[in-house]
Amino acid sequence: MLHPSRLRTLSSELLALLLAASCPGCGEAETVLCDSCRADLQPSVIARTTPAGLPVFAAMTFESTAANCIRRLKDGGETLLATPLGLALDAAVDAALLAGAHSRREVAIVPVPTSSSAFRRRGFRVPELLLERSGSVVTRALVQRGARGDQRGLDAAARVSNVRGTMRPRRSGHDRKALIVDDVMTTGATLDEAAAASVRAGYHVIAAAVLAVTPRHSERIANASGTRSK
């Protein structure tokens, strides 16, 4: 039990936090996420594949409210957003399990590892935090080996070579099924690398699930011409 004075301090800190907050989607003041933008985070699962052919299930596209919320979580440290985002990711996890008729119990949920510099900067690991907020049991089967260069601004081929050899297994999978999980998929090079490292560890990788996938060029055009994707 918290001492009453500790509780008072905690509530005033929470109140200060709330008063300073603004909605990442629309900018409305004094809210961590307004109701309308929370509704924008409703998952609508999208199926993709990685360059190596791994099936990927994404809860949403990385644009508008979703993109703003993910940036606020990752770059602004607004971990309160990890709960609504984690619940959306959980829908992608469910879709991935359902597609192969796998039960949660038989599949290890393996997050893409975070570099130690990103962990030091943020104080949390994004995929793991999202999974934990939705109540998933996480198997930290992989670790990041050394520093990985920034993937932003690289084309698909450069992304593949940039991540090659950057992950290694930290425990044996004993032929257990595994689902690879990350926050955002761009080309899928990182998911492929994580899947390859998991296979080396002895896991049988069934698919990947991500919170958001960057929209394809054709989808961007469709969205710009008036049909707002939900």
How would you classify the pairing of strands 55-61 and 204-213?
Answer: parallel
How would you classify the pairing of strands 142-144 and 167-169?
Answer: antiparallel
Please select the residue that binds Zn ion; options are 32, 37, 163, 212, rule is CB under 5 A: 37
Residue 215 half-sphere exposure toward CB, CA atoms < 13 A: 18
**What are the CA-CA distances from residue 128 to residues 96, 114, 135, 181 (Å)?**
17, 9, 11, 9
Of the candidates 224, 230, 186, the one whose C-alpha atom is nearest the C-alpha of residue 208 is 186
Q: Is 188 in the site for Zn ion (CB under 5 A)?
A: no
User: Minimal distance in Å, beta carbon 37 to Zn ion?
Assistant: 3
Q: Is 23 in the site for Zn ion (CB under 5 A)?
A: yes
Sign of torsion, CA 144 49 133 68? positive
Q: For residues 69 and 141, which CB has a smaller minimum distance to Zn ion in the complex? A: 69
- What size, in residues, is the chain? 230
Please select the residue that binds Zn ion; options are 34, 46, 59, 97, rule is CB under 5 A: 34
User: Minimal distance in Å, beta carbon 128 to Zn ion?
Assistant: 26
Q: Is 26 in the site for Zn ion (CB under 5 A)?
A: yes
Between 38 and 77, how does the x/- string for binding to Zn ion read (CB under 5 A)? ----------------------------------------
Q: Is 142 in the site for Zn ion (CB under 5 A)?
A: no
User: How many chain residues touch Zn ion (CB under 5 A)?
Assistant: 6
Q: Which residues bind Zn ion (CB under 5 A)?
A: 23, 25-26, 28, 34, 37
